Chains A and B, each alone.
Chain A
């Protein structure tokens, strides 16, 4: 076989795939069906040429069973093989995206350092704090009978908790809030880009300042955990530490916002299901949470680079080729999920890929689930009859990175406040965090439960 024919054969399943276009959002179901029925691993010439895996089995084989031939490395200084990390196309400016753009064993050291802050037991300690922030957010709007679920709730609570877990003052959430979301939703041609760039610079400066401050005066939290990290006797560079801190902010902010806003929007449009979820929350809330993660898949996928020639799931790949693993499409595969384009709050056997798969699986999944559930139940309890306003609802124009929302205004029957507003609540909670050291790691293993 000649070289050209072999190439054509390897890349015989072709699809013009560009997830950065509005069409990808509008025609997502149709594109998913076409790729799954016709490919389900496709070669696309877009963005310099890359593979797209869209079937559940193929995504699983590549993401969870091919660690030896797949790399997340972002070789920003050209010291290794020049791989471009997890974004397709590679971002024009910005460094390595923390431990998400590293391979094991280096990456594993970061995960092991952070796990004791993010395990279910560690996250459970934060529930009273989360509940009070949610309460304050709702109190700010409860007497008015009108709220924007994105701006007034789903942006605020994940941001405040991320600050708290990192060991950064809670009130700083506001410095990070707009840039963290805007950097995702602002398209490259936007006239607003210069302003967002400035906000992003301010955030970078603030974060570098926090790193220096906590290094000088240690304070428990995720920043401290990274400062104490040693890999083979060496401290990571500040560049790598800051990359990882930005990763924690990126992972902690926009994703949970996207999940919560979409779920609230859907429940607003399906009031019978909303009532059922509220009534049967003890048995339904867990499965409903996983179902919303599956259906909305806030992080739509991840880029990888093949680190060796290989054959996986029937396709031959070459070293250096780029791959897009579509968590979003894998989550709509009818061979794994009956009625994949419908939401079943009680779905069983929900093997979704919404938190990714394999060694880079979302390290904050327990935080996301807990935040989502605590926000949702208070909304169901205090604003049970809310009606969303479709006119004012704004989804991200393109969802190539995060399937997010900017605005979700709603009205509801007003109710009484239960406590102080957000600023006063954050001051009070700051004291509690400082005094109780909740941001520290869980270091002791609990007693084994009796079976």
Chain B
């Protein structure tokens, strides 16, 4: 995982979800890295599309 503190994986189906809607400043860089790495382009940070 690119950003384990920002997302968590469901044990049953493996789907990822945000740990919390508001990303703390300390994790912002990780969240943006994750958005840049997501092949399905399913992650957006701060309203920024992908």
Chain A residues with a Cβ under 8 A of chain B: 60, 64, 112, 115-116, 118-122, 286, 348-353, 355, 357-358, 361, 366, 441-446, 448-449, 451
Q: Assess A357 versus B37: contact at CB under 8 Å? Given A116-B12, A119-B13, A444-B12.
A: no
B11 touches A442 (CB 8 A): yes
Which residues does chain A contribute within 8 Å of B41, judged by CB atoms?
A: 60, 64, 351
- A451–B40 CA distance with the chains assembled, in angstroms: 24
Can you list 23 contacts pairing A with B, beta carbon distance less than 8 Å?
A: A112-B13, A116-B13, A118-B14, A119-B13, A119-B14, A120-B11, A121-B11, A121-B12, A122-B14, A349-B33, A349-B37, A351-B39, A352-B39, A355-B39, A357-B40, A358-B40, A441-B12, A442-B11, A444-B11, A444-B12, A449-B8, A449-B19, A451-B5
- A122–B14 CA distance with the chains assembled, in angstroms: 9
Q: Assess A443 versus B12: contact at CB under 8 Å? Given A351-B36, A351-B37.
A: yes
A361 touches B40 (CB 8 A): yes
With A64-B41, A119-B12, A120-B14 given, name 13 new contacts (CB 8 A).
A60-B41, A115-B13, A118-B14, A119-B14, A121-B14, A122-B14, A286-B1, A357-B39, A358-B40, A361-B40, A445-B11, A448-B8, A451-B19
Q: Assess A350 versus B37: contact at CB under 8 Å? Given A116-B13, A118-B14, A119-B13.
A: yes
Chain B residues with a Cβ under 8 A of chain A: 1, 5, 8-14, 19-20, 24, 33, 36-41
For the complex of A and B, list the 7 residue pairs with the smallest distance between their C-beta atoms, beginning with the closest.
Answer: A119-B14, A121-B11, A349-B36, A115-B13, A446-B11, A451-B19, A351-B39
Q: Whole-angstrom distance from the CB of A345 to the nearest CB of chain B?
A: 15
Which residues does chain A contribute within 8 Å of B20, judged by CB atoms?
A: 451
Which residues does chain A contribute within 8 Å of B10, judged by CB atoms?
A: 119, 445
Which residues does chain B contribute within 8 Å of A451, judged by CB atoms?
A: 5, 19-20, 24
- A201–B45 CA distance with the chains assembled, in angstroms: 52
Q: Assess A119 versus B11: contact at CB under 8 Å? Given A348-B33, A451-B19.
A: yes
Q: Whole-angstrom distance from the CB of B4 to the nearest CB of chain A?
A: 8
- A444–B39 CA distance with the chains assembled, in angstroms: 27
A445 touches B19 (CB 8 A): no
Which residues does chain B contribute within 8 Å of A445, judged by CB atoms?
A: 10-12
Q: Assess A115 versus B39: contact at CB under 8 Å? Given A120-B9, A348-B33, A451-B19.
A: no
Return the contact of B37 from the options A348, A441, A444 (Cβ within 8 A).
A348
- A119–B24 CA distance with the chains assembled, in angstroms: 27
Which residues does chain B contribute within 8 Å of A443, judged by CB atoms?
A: 12
B33 touches A351 (CB 8 A): no
A353 touches B11 (CB 8 A): no
Which residues does chain A contribute within 8 Å of B33, judged by CB atoms?
A: 348-349
Q: Whole-angstrom distance from the CB of A434 to the nearest CB of chain B?
A: 23
Which residues does chain A contribute within 8 Å of B11, judged by CB atoms?
A: 119-122, 442, 444-446
Shortest Cβ distance from B36 into A: residue: A349
- A122–B9 CA distance with the chains assembled, in angstroms: 11
Q: Which of B8, B14, B19 has the most chain A CB atoms inside 10 A of its CB?
A: B14
Return the contact of A115 from the options B5, B8, B14, B37 (Cβ within 8 A).
B14
Shortest Cβ distance from B4 into A: residue: A449
- A348–B19 CA distance with the chains assembled, in angstroms: 22
- A340–B35 CA distance with the chains assembled, in angstroms: 20
Which residues does chain A contribute within 8 Å of B19, judged by CB atoms?
A: 448-449, 451
Q: Assess A121 versus B37: contact at CB under 8 Å? Given A449-B19, A451-B20.
A: no
Q: Which of B8, B10, B12, B38 has the most chain A CB atoms inside 10 A of its CB?
A: B12
Q: Whole-angstrom distance from the CB of A313 to the nearest CB of chain B?
A: 15
Which residues does chain A contribute within 8 Å of B14, judged by CB atoms?
A: 115, 118-122, 366
- A349–B38 CA distance with the chains assembled, in angstroms: 8
Which residues does chain B contribute within 8 Å of A349, judged by CB atoms?
A: 33, 36-37
